Structure 1
Amino acid sequence: MITSVKDNFMMDLINDQRDHLNRLPSSGSMTNFSTGAVRDAMQGKGFPSMIPTCALKSLAKRFEDGATKYGRDNWQKGIPLSRYCDAAHRHLWALRDGKTDEDHFGAVLWNIACWQKTKNMIESGMLPEELNDI
């Protein structure tokens, strides 16, 4: 039977996908559960289940409010790191002063999260080095 180049390409693609599904990354260490189940170890992967949901909700709400006011991805266009640092400190001071005029917890989290992401984007060349002004 004669097969076309397209058929060969599709078969290769299917086989590559199957091979990819069969290769799960492994840390080299396993956890055995009392039920007999086994999973790759968690060390070094963090504990997302320990993050307080109230913090995540405040952060998510801050992203929503910012998207409404400035546009969904405005912050990803590039803001100098010093602006995040300064704003995070101002919101921390507002918390210490007992101010309740806005969600200062969410604002601190938002500024720290965006500071870290912006720094990562600068280091990976996705944003200009000039934004790293601290």
Structure 2
Amino acid sequence: ATRDTTQGKLDYIKALSPIVLRRYVQYLDKHRLQSNGNYRDFDNWKQGIPLNTYISSGGRHFIDTWLLTEGYATEDNHGPVEIEDAICAQLFNLMGRLHEILKEELNYDAAIDHEIGVDRTAPTPKGY
């Protein structure tokens, strides 16, 4: 069998860390329980969270990470914060914010394509 070259192809396996992704999903699982006793779906955040909420929450978790890195203890409304949770919380806010930005761009691109009759099957210039 002949395989195509990997040149110019994105390699998600090499670019991402499975131990980080596993820990991140464990963090999400830990925070699925809602105050009403029900569990939210893992993808609940995709329903939309305001960008300013991501910024505000991300700022708090950045401060927690910084404090812990400097050797200080910190807590949130759930109690003491551990460094891994603080970093995962930052990841959540960064990925959520980027998701909203990219979703908006892709929706805009799709609307323009529809308007001008383009059937986009090739990768976009930005690579997504």
Check the 8 A contact 2:64/2:81 in 1, yes or no: no
Residue ranges of structure 2 left out of the alignment (5+ in a row): 69-73, 75-79, 109-128
Moved more, 41-50 or 83-92: 41-50
1:57 and 2:37 are equivalent in the alignment: no
* Superposition TM-score, scaled by structure 1 size: 0.53
Residue ranges of structure 1 left out of the alignment (5+ in a row): 1-35, 127-134
Q: Aligned Cα RMSD in Å?
A: 2.8
- Partner in structure 1 of residue 103 of structure 2: 121
Give the fraction of aligned pairs with identical amino acids, expressed as a percent: 20
Number of residue pairs the alignment of both structures matches: 91
1:92 and 2:62 are equivalent in the alignment: yes
* Superposition TM-score, scaled by structure 2 size: 0.55
* CA distance 1:46–1:85, shift in 2 (3 Å): farther
Moved more, 45-54 or 87-96: 45-54
* CA distance 1:89–1:42, shift in 2 (3 Å): farther
2:40 to 57, 60, 71: 71
- Partner in structure 2 of residue 101 of structure 1: 81
Rg larger in 1 or in 2? 1
Q: Which amino acid aligns with 1:115?
A: R
Moved more, 113-122 or 41-50: 41-50
Q: Which amino acid aligns with 1:52?
A: S
